[in-house]
Structure formats: structure tokens, C-alpha cells
Chain A
């Protein structure tokens, strides 16, 4: 299993440009999420999905869109990039098999995004 994969690893954008951060998992996990990591602020939840066709907002959703057409993929779209979106982005997935499960979230390697 490759686990959670993210592409690209690095990206530089100009203000106003759009792009999509890709995330895929091969563990058949129902739950997937996107976090951003900024110095001194830990990881903050952007959007999440509990299954194909279902998405919801997290703590910091503004400026980002998501969709979940398949169990495996959960892309994050920046419609009009702003310097405030300079960050490291992590995708994560976990099983929703219930309270007796491990509940471990598996994180991808991250995408480092710079918006000029």
C-alpha cells in the first residue's frame, strides 16, 4: 500500500492563480480531510469528507473548495490564490469503522505552497 499520496510536493503561485492539490489513498478509508500547517498554529482543518459525495467545512474553509467523487481521491482547489494561503497542506484519511477502532489518521507527506 502506498498509503496517502499528495502531489505536487512544492508549488509556487502568483496571487490570483488557481490550482488543485491532489490527494489519494489506497486503504479504502471512508474519511478524508485537508489540513493546513502554519508555524506556531498546529494543523487546522480546512475541509473533510465522510464518504464519496459528502463533504463539509472545517475550521478554515474560506478560499478552498473540495469534492469527493470517489473513495480514493479528495482534491483541494484554490480558486484565486492569496498570500495568506502560503502554507504546508496535509491530506489525511482514516477508517470510520466505529468506536472500537483505532481511529488513526494517516497523513500524506504534504504540499508546500507559496503564493507570491
Chain B
């Protein structure tokens, strides 16, 4: 019940295209859903996050879509750029978002 599933494992997108990464969770008590971006040799950094009381959150080219009934959420990267090439992790947490359960990650490559 603590697991967060993430797909695809890897993704190749052309510059200017849309990158979509999907996650699913089991525990309906999760109440905070962040996405983290990680570049090689670096620690993960928060990209965008959402709480289950909204269905969508947009920050610049990055959008989270949240489907509470399906227990799924996704990250959309519009106008993908080579600089977006990184590994993306979805996560979920209980309470005030302290103990996170992470998905296995998606390695995104944006071709120039």
C-alpha cells in the first residue's frame, strides 16, 4: 500500500515536444504529491507539487494533473528542452509531507 508506481522507465522526446510521466499510488491517505528533478551527480530538487484538493497545478512549462478517483497523477512538460534531460521522480507522503515514498524514476532525454 505504500508503493508508488511510475512509468515509463525512460522517455525520449524531441525538442519542443511534450513529455508525459505517469504515477499511480495505492494509499488513499497520501495527501502531498511532489515531483523531483535530478541531474547526474546531484541530489533531487523539488520541481512542482500538488495536494489532492486540486486537479491540476501549472508552473511555467510544468503541469501536474491529479486524478483522485483513479489514484493517479502525471507530470507534463510542455515545449521540452534539452536542458530538461534528467531523471524525474514522483513521490507521495502522509501528513505534512515528511516521509516520502518515491517512484522508481523516469530518465528523460530531450533531443536537440
Chain A interface (Cβ < 8 Å from any Cβ of B) = 4, 31, 33, 35, 40-45, 48, 50, 58-59, 90, 92, 94, 96, 98-99, 101-105, 107-110
Which of B54-62, B67-75, B77-85, B95-103 sits within the interface?
A: B95-103
B43 within 8 A of A: yes
Residues of B within 8 A of A109 (CB): 41-43
Q: Is the CB of A43 within 8 A of B42?
A: no
Q: Is the CB of A108 within 8 A of B43?
A: yes
Greatest chain A CB density within 10 A among B34, B41, B42, B98 is at: B98
Q: Is the CB of B102 within 8 A of A103?
A: no
Q: Is the CB of B32 within 8 A of A43?
A: no
B18 within 8 A of A: no
Q: Is the CB of B104 within 8 A of A50?
A: no
Q: Is the CB of A43 within 8 A of B102?
A: yes
Chain B interface (Cβ < 8 Å from any Cβ of A) = 2, 4, 6, 9, 32, 34, 36, 41-46, 49, 89, 93, 96-105
Q: Is the CB of A44 within 8 A of B9?
A: no
With both chains docked as a complex, state the minimum distance between the C-beta of B89 and any C-beta of chain A, in angstroms. Answer: 6
Residues of A within 8 A of B100 (CB): 43, 45, 105
Greatest chain A CB density within 10 A among B9, B43, B89, B105 is at: B43
With both chains docked as a complex, state the minimum distance between the C-beta of B7 and any C-beta of chain A, in angstroms. Answer: 12
Q: Is the CB of A43 within 8 A of B89?
A: yes
Q: Is the CB of A101 within 8 A of B96?
A: yes
Query: Can you name 24 A-B residue pairings with CB atoms under 8 Å?
Result: A4-B43, A31-B98, A33-B98, A33-B99, A35-B102, A40-B9, A42-B102, A42-B104, A45-B99, A45-B100, A58-B99, A94-B97, A96-B96, A98-B96, A99-B96, A102-B49, A104-B46, A105-B34, A105-B46, A107-B36, A107-B43, A107-B44, A109-B41, A110-B42
Bound CA span A99–B44, Å: 22
